[in-house]
Amino acid sequence: MLRGATIGCGLLLLAGAAAAQTASVAPIAQTDGGHAPAAALAAAPIAPTIYFAAEEMPAFPGGPAAMLTFLSRKTNYPADALDHQVSGKVHVAFVVDANGHLRDPHVVRGLGHGLDEEALRLVRIMPWWTPGRINGQPVWVSVTLPIGFRAL
């Protein structure tokens, strides 16, 4: 139900688009650093390293134009947001894993009036992305995606 609304999106990387091309790779999550007993390490799975930036950043299949088309076709603008003429961007953060799956989507900056829930729904139904790569190997990369909503 797109009645009286337009949708926009952009890819906002926490390290910055320009910095991602020249920045050194910076992990944001690592294993426990050897602070756990050896028995606990043997039993617990090792958490993957999650990066803010990669040599090749994750990408929506088909690129930004395909993402905009996907969002405009799949968005159901909430009636409460239309009634209150709420417009703006909802920032959704998630991790693209080595297989391209989107993991742990959550709103980092919302607008309310049902737009936060709609942005999360859109991210959850997105197709798998092309994973980020470092030295040609797929890695887990954190991404923040602003999804724009505009009530007309």
Convert the pLDDT of each residue in 86-141 to its tens digit.
Answer: 899 999 999 999 999 999 999 999 988 899 999 999 999 999 999 999 999 999 99
At residue 18, the pLDDT reads 33
Position 152 scores a pLDDT of 74
pLDDT category of residue 14 using cuts at 50, 70 and 90 = very low
Helix, strand, coil shares of the chain, percent, nearest 5, are 25, 30, 40
pTM of this prediction exceeds 0.75: no
Instruction: Give the 3-state secondary structure of residue 118.
Output: helix
Say if residue 58's pLDDT is above 50: yes
pLDDT score of 61? 96
pLDDT value at position 141? Answer: 97
Report the pLDDT value the prediction gives residue 94, as an integer from 0 to 100. 97
Identity of residue 2: L
Alpha carbon of residue 52 to chain centroid: 11
Nearest to 7, CA basis, from 123, 149, 151, 124:
149
What's the pLDDT score for residue 115? 93
Report angle CA 143, 145, 149 to the nearest 5 degrees: 170
How large is the average pLDDT for residues 63-77?
94
pLDDT-derived band at 43 (thresholds 50, 70, 90) equals: low
Distance CA 20, CA 84 (A): 38
Max CA distance (Å), the chain:
60
Question: From CA 97, how far away is CA 104, in angstroms rounded?
Answer: 10
Question: How many C-beta atoms surround the C-beta of residue 86 within 10 A?
Answer: 18
pLDDT at 3 over 80: no
Query: How far is 77 from 3, CA to CA, in rounded Å?
Result: 8
Residue 113 and residue 64 in contact, taking contact as beta carbons nearer than 8 Å: no
Q: Which of 148, 132, 146, 151 is nearest to 27 (CA)?
A: 132
pLDDT at 81: 87
Beta strands at 137-151 and 50-51: parallel, antiparallel or unpaired? parallel
